[in-house]
Chains A and B, each alone.
Chain A
Amino acid sequence: MGIAKLSKKKLHDEIIREAKVLGIHSGTSEIIADKVVLKIMKWREGRSMITEEDLNERLAKELAKYNEDLAYLFKSKDKII
């Protein structure tokens, strides 16, 4: 697992893209993405570096509050084959 390069926009776009995979309405996915990105940025403060695995786990934890399947996509990222 590499070191995650965190950018608000990249994170937001990624959540929107994954939500599209599940056919979640774009308005709903925008709201979820905004809220989760805020939480992730807050969580990131005070950490000098985070791995992609840490980030995906945290994203899954935050997304699970809104949509279990969306959280599962991040939890199983790079673990399909």
Chain B
Amino acid sequence: MEGLTPVNLVQFGTILLAALVHASLQLGLGALLLLYHASLGKHIKKKTKQLASNYILGVTLLTVLIVSTAAFIIGTITSSSLSVEALAIIVGILLMLAIIIWFFYYRTRRSTELWLPKSVARYIGTRAKLTESNTEAFSLGMLSSLAEIPFSIVLMILAGNSILGLPINLQIFAVLLYTFIAILPLFILRFSIRRGNTVVDVQKWRMKNKEFLKVMTGVGFMTLALFIIGFRILGG
């Protein structure tokens, strides 16, 4: 971080916070768990590992593409970065998402079923069951990332916007850093299964901690909003 200006540090702070909030979203993790569940019942462990790796690759690629595209579009339209007015709108959306997460993220108290329309959740579940090849697992990763877009797009737009404010030699690093943090829970799940934990252990952990995770995700959205207000809107 040597040689970084305070402005660059604010940009990195935004990217880190946005990536952490992205990492706390549950759809990608849930879909990977479904894939493990479906695959372990049908295939040998090696095949399941390959499918999980390809799923993670799909999520990774889509995240890199969306963050880079967001940066490119913002850079092309504005020639620099988002205006204060645009940032104020994004802050409004972040605060709204924090409230939505607290009250509507999980469908019921008794399960980890998410806000998704039933048909979409069922489709992802069916695709996880039908996944046989690496390509299908890769596509499932992309599909679950797309389904999470209502919550993640604003985070990726903010990250893309902050990346534009960094020196050119740090921009690719920043995209990769965001992506790495956003997909970290998927690696942790993979590592956890590899260490001998079962799908049931992971799901029980998710159930036990879902309220905590929900609160923290909402707090994350709110913290990011306050960070933008403090350092980008008021701090200019």
Contacts and interface: CB of A to CB of B under 8 A. Distances in A.
Interface in B179-236: 198-200, 203-204, 207
Given A21-B198, A73-B199, A79 B41 contact: no
B114 interface: yes
B111 interface: yes
A72 B208 CA distance: 14
A81 B41 contact: no
A80 B33 contact: yes
Nearest to B125: A78
Nearest to A68: B200
Q: Tell me which of A18, A22, A69, A80 has the highest count of chain B C-beta atoms within 10 A of its own C-beta.
A: A80
A81 B37 contact: no
A76 B203 CA distance: 9
Interface in B95-119: 110-114, 116
Given A79-B112, A80-B33, A81-B116, A21 B121 contact: no
A: contact size bracket: 10 to 19
Given A17-B41, A81-B121, A22 B34 contact: no
A72 B207 CA distance: 12
Contacts of A18: 41
Nearest to A79: B111
A80 B203 contact: yes
B204 A72 contact: yes
B88 interface: no
A81 B198 contact: no
Contacts of B27: 81
B70 interface: no
Contacts of A23: 198
A18 B129 CA distance: 12
B: contact size bracket: 20 to 34
B124 interface: yes
B112 A21 contact: no
A70 to B, nearest CB: 8
A8 interface: no
A81 B200 contact: no
A20 interface: yes
A73 B34 contact: no
Interface of A: 17-18, 20-23, 69, 72-73, 76, 78-81
13 contacts: A21-B40, A21-B41, A21-B198, A21-B199, A76-B111, A79-B112, A79-B113, A80-B30, A80-B111, A80-B113, A80-B125, A81-B113, A81-B124
Interface of B: 26-27, 30-31, 33-34, 37, 40-42, 110-114, 116, 121-122, 124-125, 198-200, 203-204, 207
Given A21-B199, A76-B111, A76-B207, 15 more contacts: A17-B42, A20-B40, A20-B41, A20-B42, A21-B198, A22-B200, A72-B203, A72-B204, A73-B37, A76-B203, A80-B34, A80-B111, A80-B112, A80-B125, A81-B34
